[in-house]
Amino acid sequence: MEKTKILIIEDEAAIAELLAYGLSKEGYVAQTANTGAAGLREVAQFMPDLLILDWMLPDQSGLEICKKVTASFNIPILMITAKSDITDKILGLEFGADDYVTKPFDLREVIARIRTILRRVAQASRAGQEENGSDTLQIKHMEINRQERLVKSKGAMVELTPKEYDLLLKLSGHRGRIFSREELLELVWGYDYVGETRTVDNHIQRLRKKLDASDLITTVFGVGYKFEKDAD
pLDDT tens for each residue of 81-101 = 876 666 666 777 777 788 888
Beta-strand pair 224-227/179-180: antiparallel
C-beta atoms surrounding 87 within 10 Å: 9
The pairs formed by 205-209 with CB atoms below 8 angstroms and a separation of 24 or more are 206/164, 207/160, 207/164, 207/167, 207/168
User: Is the sign of the CA dihedral 84, 88, 93, 96 positive or negative?
Assistant: negative
pLDDT tens for each residue of 11-61 = 999 999 999 999 999 999 999 999 999 999 999 899 999 999 998 899 988
Q: Report the distance separating Cα 59 and Cα 18, nearest Å.
A: 22
Amino acid at 213: A
- Residue 70 predicted with pLDDT over 90: no
Q: Across 110-114, 135-139, 160-164, which has the greatest mean pLDDT?
A: 110-114
Write the burial class of residue 122 (CB in 10 Å: 0-12 exposed, 13-18 middle, 19+ buried).
exposed
pLDDT of residue 101: 87
State the virtual CA torsion across 84, 86, 90, 91 in degrees, nearest 10: -70
User: What residue spans in the chain does CATH classification 1.10.10.10 cover?
Assistant: 134-227
pLDDT tens for each residue of 174-204 = 888 999 988 888 788 765 555 567 888 888 9
User: What residue spans in the chain does CATH classification 3.40.50.2300 cover?
Assistant: 5-118
pLDDT of residue 71: 77
The CATH number of the domain covering residues in 134-227: 1.10.10.10
The mean predicted confidence, pLDDT, of the chain is: 84
pLDDT above 70 covers a percentage of the chain that reads 87
What Å distances lie between residue 43 and 25, 57, 74, CA to CA?
22, 16, 11
Fold of 5-118: Rossmann fold (3.40.50)
Q: Report the distance separating Cα 53 and Cα 49, nearest Å.
A: 13
pLDDT tens for each residue of 206-221 = 899 999 998 999 999 8
